[in-house]
Amino acid sequence: MKLNHRLRIGVLGFFLAATLMFGCGKKDAKNMAPDFSLQDLSGSTVTLSKARGSIVVLDFWATWCPPCLMSIPELVELQEKYRDSGLVVIGISLDDPGRVSDSDLLAFKEKLKINYKVLRANYDVVKNYFGTENMSIPTMFIIDRKGRILEKHVGFRPGLLEESLRKLLS
């Protein structure tokens, strides 16, 4: 009787561990990048769904964040280098519009020669991408051609983003 009971507990434990490790299917739906509709600095509406078919780097950043500022030249270089391979970089500014106006943000973009779209974050996009977790910036999401989040990079480490992108763009 004890052996049979142990066997049942072992089998149940195995299935519980497998479920926790591998999930219950529909993993793609959970990893889908939330779509958004945000304004760029010229007032045009930008949606993530329009970039479907491209590899997207979604960069959450702010003008007052030193690591964010250090990452911008690399993002500019990656956008230039891999644009023809289907890379789309989108910067989502978390700057307070009361402190950094659209014209200030546009001047900042021109000064740093940012060659990708810069959008203003809203509550929904922050909630959809970060939920209730503590948010650190810069945070970059790598989204594949099907719209799935493949990686999330928190902070800036030179070269790490390109290493991830090379695998996807080759």
Class at the top of the CATH hierarchy for domain 32-169 = alpha beta
pLDDT at 7: 40
Annotated catalytic residue 68: yes
Q: pTM value?
A: 0.81
**Residue 159, C-beta contacts closer than 8 angstroms, at least 6 positions apart:** 74
Residue 23 in 3-state DSSP?
Answer: coil
Per residue in 31-64, is it b (16+ CB within 10 Å) or e — as a string?
eebeebebebbeeeebebeebeebbbbbbbbbbe
> Choosing from 62, 65, 106, 160, which is the catalytic residue?
65
pLDDT at 5: 44
Could you read off the pLDDT tens digit of each residue along the chain, which spans 170 residues?
A: 454 444 444 433 443 333 333 333 333 456 999 999 999 999 999 999 999 999 999 999 999 999 999 999 999 999 999 999 999 999 999 999 999 999 999 999 999 999 999 999 999 999 999 998 889 999 999 999 999 999 999 999 999 999 999 988 87
pLDDT at 15: 37
Q: Check: CB of residue 128 under 8 Å from CB of residue 120.
A: no
Which residue ranges make up each domain of the chain? Answer: 1-26, 32-169
> Choosing from 33, 55, 68, 137, which is the catalytic residue?
68
